[in-house]
Amino acid sequence: MRDIVAHSYFKLDIEKIWKVIKNDIPILKKQIKEVLNDIK
């Protein structure tokens, strides 16, 4: 998705981007925190 946003290959689907922000990023944030705690 980054390439599409950065280079505007296609028309951006704002709803799809918002779903990623609301759904996927919080999950990814939690997983990153768990990994960081594991390597401490």
Encode pLDDT of 3-38 as tens digits: 766 676 667 788 988 999 999 999 999 999 999 999
Residue type, 16: K
25 vs 1, higher pLDDT: 25
pLDDT given at position 38: 96
C-alpha separations of 29 from 7, 10, 11, 21, 40 in Å: 25, 27, 27, 11, 17
Whole-model pTM: value is: 0.59
pLDDT given at position 19: 93
pLDDT given at position 9: 65
